[in-house]
C-alpha cells in the first residue's frame, strides 16, 4: 500500500495501463563481474517533500471562538486558519501492512488568553491494508500554568479509505469519522471521562484515546454535548489532504563485451504486497502491459530475488542484467529508460509506483548486424533523368536507418525510409552505361556496406522545323532558320546539313551549327527556278540522328 501525488514533468508516468498477468515479467538478477564502460548515472531530481494540510476542525479554526490563538512552529505554516505540516517521510509496517507518512511541525491552539491549550506535533497519516486510516500526533494540553500533560503519541481521529484513493492526483483528501465514533453510555465513553450517559450525542466524537487523554475542561470541545447543536456541528473533524513521497528512481548502466548491467535505486516506494516491477524499455513507454516491450525486468517480491526488496523506509536497490542475446534484439537507435510500477496489474488502480528515468546504455562495443545494400536503376532517355532505388534489407526486427550516398554521376545523399532510399540522377547524365556506387553509412544497429549498379541512358530523338525564309536571288543570298527539339525537352546541340535541290538534280549544301536547339542558315545565290529544301540532323552522343527530312521549297525568279 502506498500514497501518491501527481508527478512533476521531470518524472513521466505511463498513464494508459491495463492488467498484467501475474509473474509474467519476472527474470533473474545477474550481478557477476563486468568490465566497466559506464555511462553517467541518471539520477532523479530532488523533489519537494509532501505535506499534510488540516485545520483540525471548524471549531478550532474559528478566529473568534474558544481557540482563537494559534501558534505554529517546527516548519509548520498556517494560511486562512489551515495548517500545513511539511516534510512527509514514508514508512511501512510489514507486520500490519500499514503505510504511514509522518509529517513535521507543531500546531498549538489556545483560548481565553492562554488559559488552556491543545498542541499537535509531528502528525502521521496511516492507512492499513483493510482501508482503515488514522491521524495520530504527539499531543499535549495545558490548563494555565499549573496543569499539563504530554506530549503523548496517540490517535487523534480516524477515517476510511480505499487503497486506490492514495493514487488521486494531489494526494489523499478525506473527511475523518465523526458520528458513531464513541457511543454514549458505554464503558468506553465512561473510560474516556464522559460521565453523562447521553454524550457524545449520536456518538459524534474524535478518537476515544484522544478524548481520554484530554483534560476534562478541554475534551468537550472535541465531541457533541447536545448543549448547542450549531456549536456541535463545528466540532466535527475537518477534511484533510495528505500527500505522500513521490516514487523516484535512479539508474546507471555499465557495459561489458557481452552484457549490460543496470544498477537501480529508488525511494518513495511501498513494501506492501504485491511489490513492484523494475524494467528496462524504450523511453516514452505508455503501455506497461506488453511483457515483450521490456528488455529485462525483476519483481521485488519474487522469492528468487531476496536481495531486491523494498525496505520499510520506501527505498530499494536492484540490478538488472541484459545479456548479449537480449541486447542483440534491442533497437540501438532508440533511447532507453528504467521503469517502476506496481506488480500484477495493480498499477491500474494505484499508479503511485509508476516512475521513469532515462538510462544511458553504451552499445558501441557490441557487434552490429550486416545487411548487403542493393541498388537498382531504371533505364531512361537522355534529358529525362533516371532513378536509382537503394535498399538496405532488414535483419531481425529493426529497420535500418541513416543515409546512403550514390556516386559516379556526381555525389548525392538520401535518407532511408523503411529501409529504402530513392536517388534521382541528373538529367544531364550522358547516354550510354554509367557505373554507380551506392554506399550505406550504417547506424547504431547496422554496419556499413556498398554495392554497384549500372545506369543505362539512351539517346533522345529530335524533330526539325524550318523557319521563315528570305528568298535568295541569282545575285543575292537569302536567310532561314532551323529549330531542333528533343523528345525529352533537353536543349539540342550539334550539326545539321541543309540541301537545296533544283530539277535536273542541281544541288547546293550548307552545314548549320545547332546551339540550344537553334540554327541560322545563309542560303547561297541560286539559279532561277524552284528549289526544294531537305534537312538532316547528324546526331551526337546524346541525340539520335535523323533521316533526310523534306522541309518545303521556294522559287527564285530573278
Residues 6 or more apart whose Cβ sits within 8 Å of residue 494 = 484, 514, 537, 538, 539, 540, 543
Looking at residue 422, its pLDDT comes to: 95
Q: How far apart are CA 326 and CA 320, in angstroms?
A: 12
What is the tens place of the pLDDT at every residue in 260-297? 999 999 988 877 778 899 999 999 988 777 777 898 88
For the entire predicted model, the pTM comes to 0.60
Task: Work out whether the CA dihedral 346, 347, 351, 356 comes out positive or negative.
Answer: positive
Q: How far apart are CA 440 and CA 372, in angstroms?
A: 9
Looking at residue 303, its pLDDT comes to: 80
Q: Domains in the chain and their CATH numbers?
A: 52-242 (no CATH), 250-359 (2.60.40), 374-458 (2.60.40.10), 462-556 (2.60.40.1940)
Q: Quick check: helix, strand or coil at residue 365?
A: coil
Q: Could you tell me how many helices (H) and strands (E) the chain has, helices first?
A: 6, 34
Looking at residue 302, its pLDDT comes to: 83
Report the percentage of the chain scoring pLDDT > 90: 69
Quickly count: other Cβ atoms within 10 Å of residue 215's Cβ: 15
Closest CA to 483 of 457, 460, 463, 510: 463
Q: How far apart are CA 273 and CA 300, in angstroms?
A: 9
419: left (phi over 0), alpha (psi -120 to 50) or beta: left
What is the DSSP annotation of 77-124? EEETTEEEE---EEEEETTTTEEEEE---EEEEEETTTTEEEEEEEEE
Looking at residue 287, its pLDDT comes to: 79
Looking at residue 320, its pLDDT comes to: 92
Longest dimension (CA), the chain: 151
Task: Work out whether the CA dihedral 94, 98, 102, 107 comes out positive or negative.
Answer: negative
Looking at residue 92, its pLDDT comes to: 75
List the chain residues with pLDDT less than 70: 1-48, 94, 163-164, 166-170, 348-350
Amino acid at each position: 500500500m502506498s500514497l501518491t501525488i501527481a508527478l512533476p514533468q521531470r518524472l513521466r508516468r505511463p498513464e494508459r495501463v491495463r492488467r498484467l498477468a501475474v509473474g509474467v515479467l519476472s527474470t533473474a538478477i545477474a550481478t557477476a563481474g563486468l568490465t566497466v564502460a559506464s555511462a553517467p548515472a541518471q539520477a532523479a531530481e530532488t523533489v519537494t517533500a509532501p505535506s499534510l494540510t488540516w485545520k483540525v476542525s471548524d471549531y478550532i479554526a474559528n478566529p473568534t471562538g474558544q481557540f482563537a490563538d494559534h501558534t505554529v512552529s517546527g516548519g509548520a505554516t498556517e494560511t486562512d486558519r489551515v495548517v500545513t505540516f511539511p516534510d512527509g517521510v514514508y514508512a511501512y509496517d510489514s507486520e500490519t501492512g500499514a503505510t504511514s507518512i509522518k509529517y513535521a511541525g507543531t500546531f498549538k491552539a489556545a483560548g481565553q488568553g492562554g488559559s488552556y491549550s491543545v498542541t499537535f506535533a509531528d502528525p502521521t497519516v496511516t492507512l492499513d491494508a483493510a482501508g482503515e486510516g488514522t491521524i495520530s500526533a504527539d499531543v499535549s494540553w495545558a490548563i494555565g500554568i499549573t496543569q499539563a500533560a504530554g506530549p503523548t503519541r496517540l490517535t487523534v481521529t480516524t477515517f476510511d479509505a480505499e487503497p486506490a484513493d492514495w493514487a488521486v492526483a494531489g494526494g489523499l483528501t478525506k473527511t475523518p469519522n465523526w458520528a458513531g465514533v464513541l457511543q454514549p453510555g458505554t464503558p468506553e465513553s465512561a473510560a474516556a471521562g464522559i460521565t453523562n450517559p447521553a454524550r457524545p450525542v449520536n456518538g459524534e466524537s474524535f478518537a476515544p484515546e484522544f478524548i481520554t487523554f484530554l483534560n476534562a475542561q478541554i475534551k468537550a470541545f472535541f465531541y457533541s454535548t447536545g448543549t448547542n447543536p450549531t456549536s456541535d456541528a463545528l466540532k466535527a473533524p475537518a477534511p484533510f489532504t495528505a500527500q505522500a513521497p513521490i516514487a523516484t528512481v535512479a539508474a546507471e548502466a555499465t557495459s561489458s563485451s557481452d552484457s549490460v548491467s543496470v544498477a537501480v535505486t529508488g525511494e518513495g516506494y511501498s513494501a506492501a504486497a504485491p511489490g513492484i516491477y523494475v524494467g528496462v524499455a524504450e523511453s516514452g513507454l505508455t503501455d506497461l502491459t506488453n511483457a515483450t516491450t521490456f528488455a529485462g525486468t525483476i519483481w521485488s517480491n519474487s522469492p528468487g530475488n531476496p536481495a531486491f526488496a523494498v525496505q520499510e523506509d520506501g527505498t530499494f536497490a536492484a540490478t538488472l542484467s541484459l545479456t548479449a542475446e537480449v541486447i542483440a534484439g534491442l533497437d540501438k537507435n532508440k533511447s532507453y529508460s528504467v521503469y517502476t510500477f506496481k506488480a500484477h496489474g495493480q498499477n491500474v488502480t494505484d499508479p503511485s509506483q509508476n516512475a521513469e528515468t532515462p538510462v544511458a546504455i553504451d552499445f558501441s562495443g557490441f557487434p552490429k548486424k550486416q545487411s548487403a545494400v542493393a541498388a537498382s536503376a531504371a533505364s531512361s532517355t537522355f534529358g529525362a533523368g533516371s532513378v536509382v532505388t537503394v535498399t538496405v534489407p532488414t535483419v531481425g526486427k529493426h529497420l535500418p536507418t541513416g543515409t546512403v550516398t550514390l556516386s559516379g554521376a556526381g555525389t548525392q545523399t538520401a535518407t532511408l525510409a523503411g529501409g529504402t532510399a530513392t536517388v534521382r540522377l541528373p538529367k544531364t547524365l550522358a547516354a550510354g552505361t554509367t557505373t554507380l556506387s551506392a554506399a550505406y553509412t550504417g547506424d547504431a544497429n547496422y554496419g556499413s556496406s556498398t554495392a554497384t549498379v549500372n545506369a543505362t541512358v539512351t539517346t533522345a530523338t529530335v524533330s526539325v522545323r524550318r523557319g521563315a525564309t528570305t528568298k535568295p536571288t541569282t545575285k543575292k543570298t537569302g536567310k532561314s532558320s532551323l529549330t531542333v527539339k528533343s523528345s525529352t525537352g533537353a536543349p539540342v546541340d550539334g550539326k545539321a546539313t541543309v540541301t537545296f535541290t533544283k530539277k535536273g538534280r542541281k544541288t547546293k549544301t550548307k552545314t548549320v551549327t545547332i546551339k540550344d536547339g537553334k540554327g541560322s542558315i545563309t542560303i547561297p545565290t541560286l539559279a532561277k527556278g524552284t528549289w526544294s529544301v531537305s534537312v538532316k540532323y547528324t546526331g551526337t552522343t546524346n541525340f539520335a540522328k535523323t533521316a533526310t527530312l523534306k522541309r518545303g521549297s521556294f522559287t527564285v525568279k530573278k
